[in-house]
Structure 1
Amino acid sequence: MQTRTITRWLATTVLLGGLMAPWAQASEATILTLVAPDGSSKSLKRSELEALPQVSFETGTPWTQGRHGYRGPLLGDVIRQISPKAGRVNAVALNNYSHEVRLSDYEGYPLILAMSEDGKPLTRRNKGPFWLLFPFSSAPKLAEDPNVQASMVWQIVRIEVLD
C-alpha cells in the first residue's frame, strides 16, 4: 500500500512539474528597469540582457582583490532598449544610491553592465545583480578619477536615461 501511494505521489509530482515548468519560465522576474527621459519605462529580465551581445574583459578594481574576469552587455546596448541615444544616465542601486554617469567620459572604453565575475553570476553579496564597470587595468589614469570611481555603481536595479 505504501509503495502505491509513493508511486502516485511521484507520478503526480512529475506531471505537475512538467505542467508548471512553462509557467515558471514565463514568470521570470524583472531584474532591471529602464526609464526613458519622457518617464516611460521598460522592465527587463535577465534572459533579455543575456540575449544582447556580451563583452568580456579581465581587470583589477579598487573594490576587489586581484584581477577578475567580467562579462555583460555594453551599457549603450542596454540603453538602446528604451532610448536611441543618451548622453547621461542615472544608475540606481538596490539601496537607492545613485550616480549620474556621463557616457562621454567612457568613449573608447567598454563600459559594461557586468552580470558575471569569473564566469559566475553576480549576486547581491558580490555587487550584483549588475555592476557598471569598465576595464580599470587598461586605463589607470581614468581609474584614478574619483568621478569615474563613483560612476561604477553596483547592485544596479534601475537605469534612468536623463538625456
Structure 2
Amino acid sequence: MRYVTLLVTLVGLLGGMRSASAAEPLPHPQGAVILAVTGNVTQTNAPGQAQFDKAMLEALGKASYTTSSEVSATPMTFEGVPLRAVLERVGALGKTIKATALNAYQISIPMEDLQFEPILAMKVDGRVITARDKGPLWIAYPRDAHPVLQDAKYDSRWVWQLSRLHIE
C-alpha cells in the first residue's frame, strides 16, 4: 500500500506574510518568465497575459505530496505551488485550462480537476527540475490519494515542461 502525504501551506499561513488577491495588481516578473497565463483572466502584467517568474510563483504558496506517477515505479515527492492559487491570482474565469508544454504538447484540463489539488511542481525528490528533466514546471496530481486519478485520462494531464496556461 502506498502512502500519500499531502501538505498544502498557503502564503497566508506563513509567518506574517499576506497573500495577494486577484484584486491587487500583478507585479512584473524580475526573473526569467517560466509561465504565461492567457485567455479569460482579470489580472495581467503584460499585453494579454499574466507572466510569472519562479519567485512570483513561490510567493503564491507551497504544496507538496509524495505519490506514484506514470513515469516512475516508485513514489516521488513533488513540491511546488497549488494550481488553484495561480488561477485565483490571475482571476481566471472559465471552465477549461489548456496547458501547453515547451514542446507544444497541449491538453485541456477541466476546472473540475481542481478538486484534486494539482500542483505546478518545481522540485521532484528535493531537486529543482529543469527543462532537461521535465521542468521548470510539471503539473502533478496526488495520484495515490484518489483511485480515480490512476487512469490514462488523468496521466495525460501531467504536463511536464509546462510553459503556458490558457483559460477558456
CA distance in 2, matches of 1:73, 1:87: 21
Render the CA deviation track for 1:64-115: whole Å, top value 9, x for unaligned.
23111111111111112322444210000001111000021342x2211111
Cα RMSD of the aligned pairs, angstroms, is: 1.9
- What is the total number of aligned residue pairs between the two structures? 135
1:28 Cα deviation from its structure 2 partner: 1.5
Give aligned-pair identity as a percent.
27
Corresponding residue for 1:43?
Answer: 51
Question: 4+ runs of 1 displaced by more than 6 Å?
Answer: none
Tell me what 2:61 maps to.
Answer: 53
Deviates more, 1:83-92 or 1:109-118: 83-92
Q: Give the TM-score of the pair, scaled to structure 2.
A: 0.73
| Map of 2:35 onto structure 1 | 32
| CA distance in structure 2 between the partners assigned to 1:150 and 1:79 by the alignment | 20
Shift in Å, 1:140: 2.6
Distance 1:133 1:143 in 2: 12
Aligned in 2, Cα 1:32/1:106: closer, same or farther, shift over 3 Å?
A: closer
Cα distance, 1:28–1:86 mapped onto 2, change above 3 Å: same
Q: Provide the secondary structure at the position in 1 that maps to 2:97.
A: strand
Structure with max Cα Rg? 1
Partner of 1:68: 76
CA distance in 2, matches of 1:84, 1:43: 14
Q: Which amino acid aligns with 1:29?
A: A
Secondary structure, aligned partner of 1:77: helix
What letter is aligned with 2:40?
Answer: P
User: TM-score, normalising length from structure 1?
Assistant: 0.76
Q: Alignment partner of 1:66: what SS? A: strand
Determine which structure has the larger helix proportion and give its number.
1
- Cα 1:92–1:50 change in 2 (3 A) is same
1:33 and 1:44 in contact (8 A); partners too: yes
Whether the aligned pair in 2 keeps the contact of 1:28 and 1:45 (CA below 8 Å) is yes
Distance 2:87 2:140 in 1: 15
Q: Which structure dedicates a bigger proportion of its chain to strand?
A: 2
What's 1:119 paired with? 126
Work out the CA distance in 2 between the residues paired with 1:52 and 1:82.
11
Structure 2: runs of 5+ lacking an equivalent: 1-28, 42-46
Conservation of the 8 A alpha-carbon contact between 1:83 and 1:161? no
